[in-house]
Amino acid sequence: MRLAISILAGLIMTGDIRAEENQITVRGLSQWLQLTGWQAAWPVQGEIVPPVHPLRGGNILALLKSVEGDSRSLVLWNKDGHELGRIGLEIAGEIEATRVFGNRLLVVTAGGVVEIDTATLHKVRARSFVVPATKTTLYEPGPTGVWVIGDKAISYFDLDGRPPVEKARPLVGVDKPGCADIQGELKHPCSFGLQLERTRAVVSETGDIVVVETFKELFPYTGRSIDEVWPSTGTVLDKRGNIIAQKPFSWMKTRWEWFWFKEGNSGDPVGWPQLGGVVRTRYETESSPFTLPFASRGSGFLFWNDSHGYDDMVLFRTDEHLQVLWRRGVHKMDNPILAPSWISPPLFHDDICRKFLTLTDGGSSKKENIIEIRDILLKLEQTKFKRPRFAIGQNKEGDWLLIAY
């Protein structure tokens, strides 16, 4: 698909158009998944720290960093680009994550979390915290605090100041010896343990977090030949650290494989035919229907997985116990972007703002469309697909707002 966009962009490019690095563009999209023709665009004074946050009624909130220093400001616009408010944001450290819950914005750094009213831009609450000196992989804001996921533990820091909650990692046990402890040829299965870079997490709008932990295991099947298996488990924790649900998302499965060998090779049994066959056991990763969370809606979570049927992608919505509420086959969408949960009906589009999908909250009805937006295709080509980034809002009349920045 990106090759096709590159070709298309090359055909329609009429000159050396300089990509605007700090600009927000908003387009209207009707409930029939057609561009309305309405559009607004404006430059911003500073570097946008993603993501941009769409608010109820069509307003847009963004955090800006000065291009000539480290100062930061929080700016509120309406959908036409008129500035409604601006404040300087005094917070130490790099911004690790931001997210809006209702009328509150949470801004997280490696050492603290700040809660800001999205209408007045006034600071409501703040909390500093210290994470043990281990590798931190993810910061995930919740409605009243922040989850910090490190290599040794998952911690929750609530804005009310109560003592932090901490759960040791991994959240599931490892039942095999460590591969690093194996000397010489591998004779039995072993585990490399938790693979930090494969950790995935999503916080629901009620504050629960689903964490997917993936492990790497080795299984010898003949001589020095080894199969790699990647088991994973999804765990839902509440803000008190209680496990609400836990399910394997992938696991080891076996299959038989017939293979041939020639007599006379080292290790071949004496007296076998010149060309013999043996059945051996191979080890593979078996996955559940849904494997990776990518968004939340209410108290539940959204997952997707590839399908081998007519539709080439399946969306799943689960509750907080990871029970599937509905599943729906749709056309493949790379890195789907979802509108905030207050937007109805929900809208998805892919990471190049080309494929569009709307579903009812119950998953019973869907609409899909493909829209070629020339300006977006050009900028994607010019920036090697680094920009624009996207967000989805909604105006008071019910049209969706496609936000590119």
Across 91-100, 111-120, 182-191, least confident range: 182-191
SS3 percent helix, strand, coil of the chain, rounded to 5, is 5, 50, 40
Tens digits of per-residue pLDDT, 16-58?
A: 334 346 899 999 999 999 999 999 999 998 999 999 999 999 9
Give CB contacts under 8 A, 24+ apart, made by 73-80: 73/46, 74/105, 74/116, 74/121, 75/44, 76/118, 76/121, 77/24, 77/42, 79/26, 79/40, 79/393, 79/395, 79/401, 80/40
- Residue 270 is predicted with a pLDDT of 53
- Residue 163 is predicted with a pLDDT of 95
Q: Is 362 exposed, middle or buried (0-12, 13-18, 19+ CB in 10 A)?
A: exposed
Measured CA to CA in angstroms, residue 52 lies from 105, 204, 317, 349 at distances of 11, 19, 25, 16
C-alpha to C-alpha distance for 158 and 155, rounded to whole angstroms: 10
- Residue 290 is predicted with a pLDDT of 84
C-alpha to C-alpha distance for 87 and 219, rounded to whole angstroms: 57
CB 221 within 8 A of CB 176: no
Positions of E strands within 300-365: 300-306, 313-318, 324-330, 337-338, 347-349, 355-359
- Residue 234 is predicted with a pLDDT of 97
Token pair for 355: 């494929």
Q: Where in the chain is the domain with CATH 2.120.10.30?
A: 40-169
C-alpha to C-alpha distance for 195 and 204, rounded to whole angstroms: 24
Share of residues in the chain with pLDDT > 70 (%) = 89
- Residue 180 is predicted with a pLDDT of 82
Name the band, by pLDDT with cuts 50, 70 and 90, for residue 387: very high
Mean pLDDT of 184-209: 94
Mean pLDDT of 381-405: 96
Instruction: Classify the C-alpha dihedral 398-385-136-105 as positive or negative.
Output: negative
- DSSP notation for 53-65: EE-GGG-EEEEEE
pLDDT exceeds cutoff 60 at 6? no
- Angle of helix 2-12 relative to helix 374-382, nearest 10 degrees, comes to 100
Across 17-31, 125-139, 258-272, 345-359, least confident range: 258-272
* Beta pairing partners, 214: 232
- Residue 260 is predicted with a pLDDT of 73
Instruction: Classify the C-alpha dihedral 258-260-265-269 as positive or negative.
Output: positive
Tens digits of per-residue pLDDT, 236-291?
A: 999 999 999 999 999 999 999 887 766 555 555 555 555 667 888 999 999 998 88
- What's the half-sphere exposure (Cβ side, CA atoms, 13 Å) at 321? 2
- Residue 12 is predicted with a pLDDT of 42
**Close Cβ partners of 285 (under 8 Å, ≥ 6 residues apart):** 229, 230, 231, 250, 251, 252, 253
Whether domain 40-169 has CATH 3.40.309.10: the reply is: no
Who wins on pLDDT, 7 or 306? 306
